[in-house]
């Protein structure tokens, strides 16, 4: 299998192309301020993991060498399809959800820059998200796939968006609830985070006409998307503050439910009092270390790691439905990368 370096190269080289495509497929239009706000977060950065998964899945299905075919006129089972449009669509959805989530969570910073509702204002941020929402659908309609397959891709996209809203709603509900089970938590993560990975992985199979691969790739996406979120929860506790770009342990301070705290609470840990500080500014590294020790003793860190590893194993198994080639190898390595990454 390809190593972590190969994955990082694969992500980096695709990111450049995705960034160019976003600029082309989501052009600055009138009213300018609305489109500036809509493009602001997309231009602030982002790893482009979901578009990368989408493009790699397309390359594996078409059995072409990585970066060996033009994404704009990509070989389908019958003719050519602009798979880049689909990749842009998925990244636009991701950006729309971040803009609206930051309003709901009252977060000030995203990707190292002010959140859209801080850089602009509340109304502009709501509207920027709403504009991206329809732009994602407009782009997904421009792949040039036959109508029957476009309809299925659109349907997948619409269902995915509904589920993301349901997941975000559950996430907010959970903050006010004392007891959440690991299964409830993982269901929330599936909806809020994993379904967009599932859409990214399976939509190329839909639009390129590889019907047999749709379900396996969807399952692969659901698995690695959940693993990705668990790893995010782990990194919040274990990555040094300077590498993380925000205070380590902020989830604990803010009382956010994670698979780790959900498990710890079930083990009898008094999660709400793991740290005394009631703000991210006030918490000390020593406090976080003590909390981490307690979570490790309760087995919660290992529980989360093992669940993430299990999901990655399961996700990679679904890739057996793909041709054995360099791109499917990279998709397996992306799965590993998601739980090996350190930020």
Q: Does 159 help bind a second copy (rule: CB under 8 A)?
A: yes
Minimum CB–partner distance for residue 191 and a second copy (Å): 10
Closest by CA position to 227, among listed 323, 162, 306, 284: 306
Minimum CB–partner distance for residue 64 and a second copy (Å): 27
Closest by CA position to 100, among listed 86, 110, 90: 110
Q: Is the CB of residue 249 less than 8 Å from the CB of residue 234? A: no
Strands 74-75 and 109-110: unpaired
Q: Does 64 help bind a second copy (rule: CB under 8 A)?
A: no
Q: Is the CB of residue 77 less than 8 Å from the CB of residue 209? A: yes
Cα 21 to the chain's mean position, in Å? 19
Residues in contact with a second copy, counted by CB under 8 A, come to a total of: 41
Q: Does 168 help bind a second copy (rule: CB under 8 A)?
A: yes
- Window 225 to 284, contacts with a second copy (CB under 8 A): none
Q: Is the CB of residue 58 less than 8 Å from the CB of residue 65? A: no
Minimum CB–partner distance for residue 338 and a second copy (Å): 26
Q: Where are the alpha helices (DSSP H) in the chain?
A: 4-25, 32-43, 49-62, 83-105, 116-119, 122-140, 147-175, 182-189, 195-208, 214-238, 241-244, 250-253, 259-266, 285-297, 300-318, 326-340
Minimum CB–partner distance for residue 309 and a second copy (Å): 29
Which residue's CB is nearer to a second copy, number 28 or number 290? 28
Q: Does 122 help bind a second copy (rule: CB under 8 A)?
A: yes
Q: Which of 44, 67, 113, 154 binds a second copy (CB under 8 A)?
A: 154
Q: Does 162 help bind a second copy (rule: CB under 8 A)?
A: yes
Planar angle of CA 303, 305, 310, nearest 5 degrees: 95
Q: Does 135 help bind a second copy (rule: CB under 8 A)?
A: yes
Q: Is the CB of residue 152 less than 8 Å from the CB of residue 142? A: no
Q: Does 217 help bind a second copy (rule: CB under 8 A)?
A: no
Which residue's CB is nearer to a second copy, number 109 or number 122? 122
Minimum CB–partner distance for residue 32 and a second copy (Å): 10
CA 169/CA 185 separation, integer angstroms = 12
Q: Which of 137, 182, 244, 254 binds a second copy (CB under 8 A)?
A: 137
Q: Which of 50, 85, 100, 218 binds a second copy (CB under 8 A)?
A: 100
Q: Name the phi and psi angles at 207, rounded to 5.
A: -75, -25
Mark 29-48 with x for binding to a second copy (rule: CB under 8 A) and - for no binding.
xxx-xx--------------
Closest by CA position to 211, among listed 67, 330, 78, 68: 78
Residues forming the site for a second copy (CB under 8 A): 29-31, 33-34, 100, 103-104, 122-124, 126-127, 129-131, 133-135, 137-138, 141, 146-148, 150-151, 154-155, 157-159, 161-162, 165-166, 168-170, 172-173
């Amino acid at each position: 299998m390809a190593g972590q370096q190969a994955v990082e190269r694969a992500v980096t080289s695709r990111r450049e192309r995705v960034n160019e495509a976003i600029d082309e497929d989501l052009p600055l239009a009138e009213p300018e301020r609305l489109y500036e706000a809509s493009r602001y977060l997309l231009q602030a950065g982002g790893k482009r993991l979901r578009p990368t998964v989408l493009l790699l899945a397309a390359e594996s299905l078409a059995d072409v060498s990585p970066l060996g075919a033009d994404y704009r006129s990509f070989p389908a089972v019958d003719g050519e399809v602009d798979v880049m449009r689909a990749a842009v669509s998925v990244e636009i959805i991701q950006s729309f959800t971040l803009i609206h989530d930051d309003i709901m969570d009252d977060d000030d910073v995203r990707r190292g820059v002010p959140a859209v509702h801080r850089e602009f204002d509340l109304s502009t941020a709501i509207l920027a998200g709403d504009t991206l929402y329809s732009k994602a659908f407009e782009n997904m309609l421009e792949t040039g796939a036959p109508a029957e397959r476009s309809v299925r891709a659109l349907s997948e996209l619409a269902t995915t968006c509904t589920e993301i809203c349901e997941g975000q709603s559950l996430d907010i509900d959970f903050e006010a609830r004392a007891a959440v089970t690991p299964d409830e938590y993982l269901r929330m993560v599936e909806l809020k985070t994993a379904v967009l990975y599932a859409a990214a992985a399976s939509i190329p199979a839909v639009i390129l006409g590889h019907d047999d691969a749709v379900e396996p790739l969807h399952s692969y996406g659901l698995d690695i998307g959940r693993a990705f979120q668990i790893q995010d929860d782990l990194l919040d506790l274990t990555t040094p503050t300077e590498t993380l770009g925000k205070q380590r342990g902020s989830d604990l301070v803010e009382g956010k439910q994670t698979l780790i705290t959900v498990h710890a609470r079930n083990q009898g840990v008094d999660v709400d009092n793991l740290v005394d500080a009631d703000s991210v500014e006030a918490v000390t590294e020593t406090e976080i270390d003590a909390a981490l020790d307690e979570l490790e003793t309760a087995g919660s860190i290992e529980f989360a790691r093992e669940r993430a590893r299990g999901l990655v194993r399961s996700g990679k198994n679904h890739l057996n439905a793909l041709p054995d080639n360099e791109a499917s190898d990279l998709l397996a390595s992306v799965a590993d990368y998601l739980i090996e990454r350190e930020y």
